């Protein structure tokens, strides 16, 4: 006797469901995971949910056709050494690319540039060991710290980018720093409008980074 349609339907449905799961798994595997390791500028200090740099960057990249998830690994108050200390759990093993935005708090606290450089170098060592394409986002010293400090601090990022052969975005706050219309009342953290300027300006560098990444 031929099996009834009802008996046939169950295994067919099971096969179809398995195919859907396999397709979903493949789609998820194809999504690039971009980690933004940083301080309050990345974390989104003072901003509403969904308005932080990683959120807005992800939206901009998706609008440009990238299948990407931007992971917010920013912690307010972190120095470069703090970022290094939490690297292992902040940057998952399945990450495909990395943005490093650290050093602003080092500068604001007047920490020795050589210490900041050493911590950032150790982060880049870890990223290189993991074959993780990296974009180093630079910070510039405030002018009130004096010309000698400014020169030493500002030289950190281009020197590291050259030494480690990673992409460099020279100044994370380019177009935003010093503009009261693009910053919160503290004059240090970007407003939602400021974040949009940051995203717009850094976007080409991030697109170049993702083209080096493999899902």
Tell me the catalytic residues: 40, 186, 189
- SS3 string, the chain, reads CCCCHHHHHHHHHHHHHHHHHHHHHHHHHHCEEEEEEECHHHHCCCCCCCCCHHHHHHHHHHHCCCCEEEEEEECCCCCHHHHHHCHHHHCCCCCCEEEEECCHHHHHCCCCHHHHHHHHHHHHHHHHHCCCCEEEECCCCCHHHCHHHHHHHHCHHHHHHHHHCCEEECCCCCCCCCCHHHECCCCCCECHHHHHHHHHHHHHHHHHHHCCCCC
């Amino acid at each position: 006797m031929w099996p009834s349609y009802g008996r046939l339907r169950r295994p067919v449905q099971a096969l179809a469901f398995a195919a859907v799961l396999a397709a979903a798994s493949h789609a998820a595997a194809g999504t690039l995971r971009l980690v933004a390791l940083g301080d309050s500028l990345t974390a989104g200090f003072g901003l509403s949910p969904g308005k932080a740099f990683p959120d807005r960057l992800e939206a901009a990249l998706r609008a440009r056709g990238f299948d990407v998830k931007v992971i917010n690994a920013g912690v307010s108050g972190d120095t470069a050494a703090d970022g290094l200390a939490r690297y292992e759990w902040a940057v998952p093993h399945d990450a495909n690319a990395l943005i490093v935005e650290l050093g602003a708090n080092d500068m604001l606290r007047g920490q020795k540039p050589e210490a900041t450089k050493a911590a950032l170098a150790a982060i880049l060592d870890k990223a290189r060991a993991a074959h993780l394409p990296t974009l180093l986002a630079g910070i510039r010293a405030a002018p009130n710290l004096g010309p000698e400090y400014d020169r030493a601090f500002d030289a950190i990022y281009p020197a590291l980018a050259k030494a480690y052969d990673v992409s460099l975005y020279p100044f994370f706050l380019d177009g935003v720093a010093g503009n009261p219309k693009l910053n919160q009342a503290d004059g240090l953290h970007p407003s939602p409008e400021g974040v949009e300027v940051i995203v717009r300006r850094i976007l080409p560098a991030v697109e170049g980074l993702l083209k080096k990444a493999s899902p």
